[in-house]
Every structure is written in structure tokens, then in C-alpha cells.
Amino acid sequence: MLQARLNHYFVITSYINLAKPRAILPHIITSTAAMFLAIPGLPQINTLVFTIIGGSFVAIAANTFNSYLDRDIDALMKRTSRRPLPSGFIKPENALFFGISAGILGAAILSIFIGWVPTMLALLALLYYILPYTLLLKRRTYWSAVIGSGIGALPPLIGWWAVTDKIEFTPFLLSAIIMLWTLPHFWTLAIFRRDDYQRAGLKMLPEKGAEMWIFASSLLLIFLTFLLATVAHLTLLYLIFASILNAVLLSLLLGILLRKTQVATQCLYRYSIAYITLLFIAIIADRLIQI
């Protein structure tokens, strides 16, 4: 009896790990922030809930397909070797069925309760992640991080259209912030996991000047976060949060430029996860106070 319960537990946790909930959270927060910015009042609760649920299932499908296609290189890297597919906890065919099911369910929810345009945008993100990024670019060029950054840029467009039925400048600015954030986030990971990626035969970094690319993209990111305050009519609350977050980001950037140590790079990577989450939470909080 106990063994059966343990088996069920491992199966459930394996599928949760396959879905990568931590990678889905930024998609939820960024699309939610766009919905709060798009209209003067609060978004309708059913629109908010179904956009989040439908988008999350499509994101689960994307993460699952990525794990399915990358299971060979995941098995070669210490960071990913214990994931459900390379470790053998989930069979590849079961993962594929899980991903297809999640994608169909997510698309159905979005199309029935939200509309065809958000559905098409979500499916575009799914296909973009699978085809150009995972299959064509990831194993061939370090520019995959730049091109692949467009994947995470679509949730604000989805959220904005869900409540307005149109696209304006602001959601593209939100998308640009996410795209620029992706570069320091991804490249700092590639720096302190360099040996892992080399073991898998992946070229994830420019041969020279990776730190300068990280610094330059981060400076542009900082500029856009302040530009957003003017464009989206955000208040002092957002500006205070953005200033604090950007001050810490800038100090960590200077750290990797001056010291170029693994510890400094790892600190910036870990902070980048909190940075994007807290920045978009600040957007939501600012809009709630205005309402």
C-alpha cells in the first residue's frame, strides 16, 4: 500500500517537474500585468482566470515538448540529468502525449472563453519555441538566446488583447522588457554552467565579450522599465520599486564586469529571476492602487 502511494507520488511530481511550473510563473505574471494595464478598471474575473489557465496549459505543452526534444542533451548535463525524461521517470511517448494534451486543452480554453487572436498568439509562441528555437537554433548558435527571447514576449500581447480586442504600443513595450531581460538571464546561466553546455556540445555564449553583451542589454532594459512609467502612466509606487530593482541589478552588473567570477555571475542569474517577477508585480500593485 505504501509502495503504491510512493509510486503515485513520484509519478505526480515527475509530471509537475516536466511542466516546469517555475518557468510558467513569469508568463502568468506578465500577461496579468498587461491585463491590468490595458483598461482603466479591473479586468473581468473570468477573462483573467481563463487567460491564465489557458496560457498556462499552452506553456506546459511548450516546456514538455522542449524536454522531449532535448532529452538527449539533458542527459549529458549535470543540471538537467535528473529531469523526468533523462532519468527515466517518464517514458518519452508518455511525455509527448502529456504535451499534446496540455496544448489542446490550453488552446481550447483560450478559443472558447477568450477569443481566436489570443489563441493564435499562444500557439505561435508554442510553435516558435519548438521549431526555430529548440529544433533549429539551440544546437547551432549562441544567438538562439536572442532569437528565442521572443517566446516570452508574447504573454503581454495575449493578456492585452484578451481584455481590449486590440493591440497598442504599451504591450509591445512590455514585450521588449521581457526580451531584453532574457539575455542577461540566459547568458549568465550559460557562463556559470559553461562546462555543462560544453559537455552537451552546445554553443551558448559569444566567444568574447559575453559580459559586455549582458551589460549593454541590461542598460537598455533599465531604460525601458523607466520609459514604461511614462507610457503606461504609472505612479511613484512603481518608480520606487523599479529604481530599487534596477539599482541592485546595476550593482550586480558592475560586479561581473569588474570581478568576472562564477559567484558574481551566479548571483546575477539568481537575481534576474526575482527581478522580472517583482517588476511586473509592482506594475500590478501600482494599477490596483490607482483603481
* Angstrom distance (rounded) from CA 38 to CA 166: 10
pLDDT at 282: 97
pLDDT at 7: 61
CA dihedral 89, 94, 100, 103 (to 10 degrees): -30
| Domain 13-290 bears CATH identifier 1.10.357.140 | yes
Q: How far apart are CA 109 and CA 132, in angstroms?
A: 26
pTM, two decimals, is 0.93
Amino acid at residue number 44 = Q
Whether 285 contacts 237, CB under 8 Å: yes
Name the nearest CA neighbour of 120 among 132, 111, 129, 128.
111
Tens of pLDDT along the chain (291 residues) come to: 545 555 666 788 999 999 999 889 989 999 999 999 999 989 999 999 999 999 999 999 999 999 999 999 999 998 889 999 999 889 999 999 999 999 999 999 999 999 999 999 999 999 999 988 888 888 887 777 777 777 778 999 999 999 999 989 999 999 999 999 998 998 898 888 888 888 888 877 776 778 888 999 999 999 999 999 999 999 999 999 999 999 999 999 998 888 777 788 899 999 999 999 999 999 999 999 997
Do 156 and 33 meet the contact criterion of CB atoms below 8 Å apart?
A: yes
Closest CA to 154 of 184, 117, 206, 187: 117
pLDDT (0 to 100) of residue 217: 93
Beta carbons within 10 angstroms of residue 92's beta carbon: 13
CB 187 within 8 A of CB 268: no
Residue 153: DSSP 8-state? T
